[in-house]
Amino acid sequence: MLSEDHVANKLSDERFEKLSADYEAEQNEKAVNVGKLLAIVRRYTDIQELTPTLLREFVDKIVVHEADKSSGKRQQKIEIHYSFIGELAG
Q: What is the pLDDT of residue 50?
A: 84
Residue 73 CA to residue 50 CA, distance in Å, equals: 30
Q: Pick out the chain residues at pLDDT < 70.
A: 1-9, 27-28, 30-32, 89-90
3-state SS assignment for residue 62:
strand
pTM: 0.49
Q: What is the pLDDT of residue 2?
A: 52
**pLDDT 10s digits, 14-32:** 877 777 777 777 766 766 6
Q: What is the pLDDT of residue 75?
A: 93
Please tell me the number of Cα atoms within 13 Å of 74 on its side-chain side.
3
Give the residue extent of every domain in the chain: 2-87
